[in-house]
Structure 1
Amino acid sequence: MNSFDNTINRRNTGSVKWDFMEQKLGLEGTDLLPMWVSDYDFQAPQQVLERLAQDISHGIFGYSERQDDYYQAAIDWFKNQHQTEIKRDWITTVHGVLPGIAMALQMLTQVNDQIVIQSPGYGSFRKIIELNDRKVLNNRLIESEGHYQLDFAHLEDCFASGAKALIFCNPHNPTGRAWSEQEIMQVAKLCQKYDVWLISDEIWSDLALTPNTFHSTLKLPSSLTNKLIVATAASKTFGLSSLRISNFIIPNAELKGQFVRRLDAHGMDCFNNLSMSAATTAYQECETWLEDLKQYLQDNIETLNGFLKTELPHIRFTKPEATYLAWLDCRAMKLSDTELEQKLIAAGIVPSMGCAFGEEGSGFIRLNLGCPAEVLADALVRLKVALVVEQ
């Protein structure tokens, strides 16, 4: 049996997805099946578990610093996986992608500045913009028959109106788009034209699905990278979210120095040895695990796709080019978001509601397919109960 098939009980482990639905979503009931938070229900790779066990058995957890092998592992990973050359001097680390983006916004922009995000888009981008007293400027994605494209004309209008920064999700959550080289180049040229900071969240970069390809903004010509900050992590790739380490890659030496000083100003100059060990080992030893995982995820996607075509043909689903997230268009049911959510909860399934990703997500739901096939099969039964059209 493939290890991804193992169904592991995550209840009573402090899991946000499984244990905090009441606190986070106001939902009660131990029979609810969570398909919302985007983390895996798979164990991390065995090599990572063994490395962590070795570190724990040592028994000393003093102050730690990033070693040469940490940096080299990240450099080699980008070169081998994404044909992207990065330099050690470009890399620093932060305790998570969102904290790093928030600090970048504090450093580069002022109170009441406008920050552009794509919509529908990851709701936490909006949260960190607004809680830092900046203003969200939505650049709505263009959707046609389930396929999403960037609205470059409106993006330019946003920049022309005085926006100071763009948070660019590449690949995109929740739609699963893996942006093309041409699209990324056009974004970068507009940022340069209007002197806009480009903050590229590339945490999903390793999860482009065959035959699609991820293109990093780090492959842009150097003339377009002076105002570029790229955020990456091993967490989505290898199921290490709670270990809280991310790479911020900044080609501009002066900008990188500013960012490091900002981290020091927050006292973020100590590093979690377990996090560094896990990420280093994952990058060095777990490429085969990732390839097997992506095939498993694609099988889950095909299972969902076939089920919807047969059992729920009124629910539109475009297979993602990247991520393990399914973005389902339920608008044909002509329900309000509240009514849609009530039907889903009554059937015992908890997705992320599309309206949480902006008003353009109204009528959609997002399902996390990073789960064993047995769990997905259970979810599909519940989904049919919730979304079947009564005759």
Structure 2
Amino acid sequence: MKQHFEQIIDRKNTRAAKWDLVKQLYGSEDVLPMWVADMDFKVPQAVADALSERAKHGIFGYTMTDRELNKLVVDWVSYKHNWDINNNWLLYSPGVITTLHMAIQSLTEKGDKVMIQTPVYPPFYQIIQTHGRTLVTNELQLKAGKYEIDFADMEEKFKEGVKAFILCNPHNPVGRVWTKSELEKMISLCKKYHVFILADEIHADLVYEPYKHISIASLDEDILQQSITCMSPTKTFNLAGLQISYAIVANKEIRKQMEEMFHKQGINGMNTMGITALEAAYKEGKQWLTNLIEQLKINLDYVIERLYKRNDVNVIRPEGTYLVWLDFRALGISQDELKKFLQNEAKIGLNDGVSFGEEGTGFMRINIAAPFEIVKKGIDRLTNALDKQNKKEE
């Protein structure tokens, strides 16, 4: 199994956004892409086999979900997150972002205030602004290398009439896995000010010890009725292209509203291969996931070891996800200069920190979900370029 995560697979010319957009995004074919949040690892063999068998059947008509599939999801959520949910609470969707779009339209009106915690995943901004809602930000505070929530700011803004709050847990890009205490403070404020929670927990399965993911809706019965929790096997098992996710919606009336919005938008069926992959992954992917996290930990430790003592870049150590937030502010250069330096000198393609909000100025996000040799190559390129830059300045 270890060899499984060491294998370097050529993804070029497969319409892989990560690899086949390199020249378009970074101006050169020799830039190493370490940006978009998918993995350069093969899926579990059981998933590949299940997809192959389904393909051999040769008919790909309308595909339904059923109680057996629901039970697999219920069992997975219990196994991974110690949360016993009801299979009647499940709504399937092509993706978490699709679900959030439906939720914003179902549960808020134009002009309503919706809060996000910045810097944060770029589509959150689009979800709010596309539908004419008012964006409210609760800026996370970086203290001693770790991001914290400004609860005083959160409460002041809730007082001003925030209708909904999109929670990212584990947080993308800063890597926090919110603690029970932090979640309970959020719950208290959301209950006090009647704020609905939309929880994006797509990275929930990807957490490093000793940290533990806790679904916010599992902590409080009132919040269970006042929230939608979005999960998916796609980040966990590298299935993003198969487009399958689910939402946990305990409130019957809200579930009905969501179902009506999905139908209104013409989203009535799921991807046949996505369903097949979810079933195989949740049935037979547990050991693969354990091994994946071990490999990610090796990669992460290497990145931190190589960059830890440098004065020109600081690593914000993630508690979850395979995405690492890098702080380049010590370089003292503009964001445009930083982007040009990374793509032209270091020859690595990272996510621009500013795409996560203005709070990401001076930062970049790197994806470490790749064979160790690719991660090493990327970090070698980065450190060599930084060393050359430092010598020029001496």
TM-score by length of 1: 0.97
Structure 1 partner of 2:318: 320
> What amino acid does structure 1 have at the position aligned with 2:14?
T
Do the aligned partners of 1:97 and 1:246 also contact (CA within 8 Å) in 2? yes
Do the aligned partners of 1:324 and 1:369 also contact (CA within 8 Å) in 2? yes
Structure 1 partner of 2:364: 365
Structure 2 partner of 1:5: 6
Structure 1 partner of 2:248: 249
Tell me, in whole angstroms, the C-alpha distance in 1 between the residues paired with 2:353 and 2:129: 20
Structure 1 partner of 2:173: 174
Matches within 5 A, 1:71-220: 71-220=70-219
**Deviation at residue 211 of structure 1 after TM alignment:** 1.2
Structure 1 partner of 2:298: 299
Do the aligned partners of 2:311 and 2:330 also contact (CA within 8 Å) in 1? no
Tell me, in whole angstroms, the C-alpha distance in 2 between the residues paired with 1:378 and 1:141: 31
Greater Cα shift, 67-76 or 167-176: 67-76
**Deviation at residue 226 of structure 1 after TM alignment:** 1.9
State the SS of the aligned residue for 2:138: strand
Q: 1:38 and 2:1 equivalent? A: no
**Deviation at residue 313 of structure 1 after TM alignment:** 4.1
**Deviation at residue 270 of structure 1 after TM alignment:** 1.6
State the SS of the aligned residue for 1:4: helix
> What amino acid does structure 2 have at the position aligned with 1:385?
N
**Deviation at residue 309 of structure 1 after TM alignment:** 2.7
Tell me, in whole angstroms, the C-alpha distance in 2 between the residues paired with 1:387 and 1:175: 23
**Deviation at residue 169 of structure 1 after TM alignment:** 0.1
Tell me, in whole angstroms, the C-alpha distance in 2 between the residues paired with 1:226 and 1:195: 12
Tell me, in whole angstroms, the C-alpha distance in 1 between the residues paired with 2:265 and 2:125: 22
Do the aligned partners of 1:174 and 1:325 also contact (CA within 8 Å) in 2? yes
**Deviation at residue 21 of structure 1 after TM alignment:** 3.5
Tell me, in whole angstroms, the C-alpha distance in 2 between the residues paired with 1:377 and 1:260: 46
> What amino acid does structure 2 have at the position aligned with 1:18?
W
Structure 2 partner of 1:228: 227
1:80-117 deviation digits (Å, cap 9, x = unpaired): 11111111111010111101101110111111222100
Tell me, in whole angstroms, the C-alpha distance in 2 between the residues paired with 1:386 and 1:124: 31
State the SS of the aligned residue for 1:207: coil
1:318-342 deviation digits (Å, cap 9, x = unpaired): 3210001111111111111111111
State the SS of the aligned residue for 1:365: strand
Structure 2 partner of 1:353: 352
Structure 1 partner of 2:333: 335
> What amino acid does structure 2 have at the position aligned with 1:271?
M
Tell me, in whole angstroms, the C-alpha distance in 2 between the residues paired with 1:272 and 1:119: 32
**Deviation at residue 22 of structure 1 after TM alignment:** 4.5
Tell me, in whole angstroms, the C-alpha distance in 2 between the residues paired with 1:22 and 1:129: 31
State the SS of the aligned residue for 1:126: helix
The total of aligned residue pairs comes to 388
Tell me, in whole angstroms, the C-alpha distance in 2 between the residues paired with 1:75 and 1:146: 36
Distance verdict in 2 for CA 1:144–1:287, change over 3 Å: same
Root-mean-square deviation over aligned CA pairs = 1.2
Tell me, in whole angstroms, the C-alpha distance in 2 between the residues paired with 1:18 and 1:66: 33
1:40-96 deviation digits (Å, cap 9, x = unpaired): 011111000000000000001111101322111111111111111111111010111
Tell me, in whole angstroms, the C-alpha distance in 1 between the residues paired with 2:3 and 2:217: 35
Structure 2 partner of 1:14: 15
- Mind listing any 5+ residue stretches in structure 2 that lack a counterpart? none
> What amino acid does structure 2 have at the position aligned with 1:273?
T
1:253-275 deviation digits (Å, cap 9, x = unpaired): 11111111111222222222211
State the SS of the aligned residue for 2:117: strand
> What amino acid does structure 2 have at the position aligned with 1:376?
V
Tell me, in whole angstroms, the C-alpha distance in 2 between the residues paired with 1:316 and 1:3: 31
**Deviation at residue 366 of structure 1 after TM alignment:** 0.7
Do the aligned partners of 1:69 and 1:280 also contact (CA within 8 Å) in 2? no
TM-score by length of 2: 0.96
Do the aligned partners of 2:232 and 2:246 also contact (CA within 8 Å) in 1? yes
Matches within 5 A, 1:370-385: 370-385=369-384
Greater Cα shift, 281-290 or 259-268: 259-268
Percent identity of equivalent pairs: 37
> What amino acid does structure 2 have at the position aligned with 1:320?
P
State the SS of the aligned residue for 1:206: coil
Tell me, in whole angstroms, the C-alpha distance in 2 between the residues paired with 1:85 and 1:22: 46
> What amino acid does structure 1 have at the position aligned with 2:4?
S
Tell me, in whole angstroms, the C-alpha distance in 1 between the residues paired with 2:385 and 2:226: 47
Tell me, in whole angstroms, the C-alpha distance in 2 between the residues paired with 1:342 and 1:258: 46
4+ long deviations beyond 4 Å: none
State the SS of the aligned residue for 2:115: strand
**Deviation at residue 218 of structure 1 after TM alignment:** 2.7
